[in-house]
Amino acid sequence: MIYFLAVIIFIILTLFLRFVIGIEPRTIVIFYLLGLIIFFFSFTVAEMPAFGSPDNPTFNEVPQRYLESGVSETGAVNIVSSVIIDYRAFDTLGEATVLFVAIAAVIATIKAH
């Protein structure tokens, strides 16, 4: 019964979108595909661990060490700084390089044209 209703609603929605609002068939297909992706993603989201729960896998020894010995190991009171510029400094070098290469790309493109 519920499937029958769903199909009816689906058909009515399609006809409505196409002929009442006047959307292109191509756009309707894209619309449904995106809906399908959202449908599947919603299951994934439902399965995610609860936000901020202490049992989450992310609360393991990694943030623990950052928080407990970050000050003594890096000397920085700001934990964010101690992570981005000491524990994971190479990522920051990468980010600085991203900035540099973005500017280089802009300059090169503007100068060339």
The residue ranges that bind other proteins (CB under 8 A) are: 40-41, 43-44, 47-49, 56-62, 65-66, 71-78, 80-82, 84-113
* Closest to other proteins by CB, 26 or 113: 113
Q: What's the token pair of residue 19?
A: 């002929």
Nearer to other proteins, 22 or 75 (CB): 75
Contact indicator for 28, 18 with CB cutoff of 8 Å: yes
Nearer to other proteins, 27 or 81 (CB): 81
Least distance in angstroms from the C-beta of 30 to other proteins = 15
Report the alpha-carbon distance of residue 112 to residue 87 in Å, rounded: 40
CB of 49 to other proteins, least distance (A): 7
Cα distances (angstroms) measured from residue 63 to each of 1, 52, 78, 94: 51, 13, 14, 22
35 is written with which tokens?
């809906």
* Residues in contact with 17: Cβ distance below 8 Å, sequence separation at least 6, in sequence order: 23, 28, 31
- Residue among 10 and 100 whose Cβ is closer to other proteins: 100
In whole angstroms, how close is the CB of 8 to other proteins at the nearest point? 30
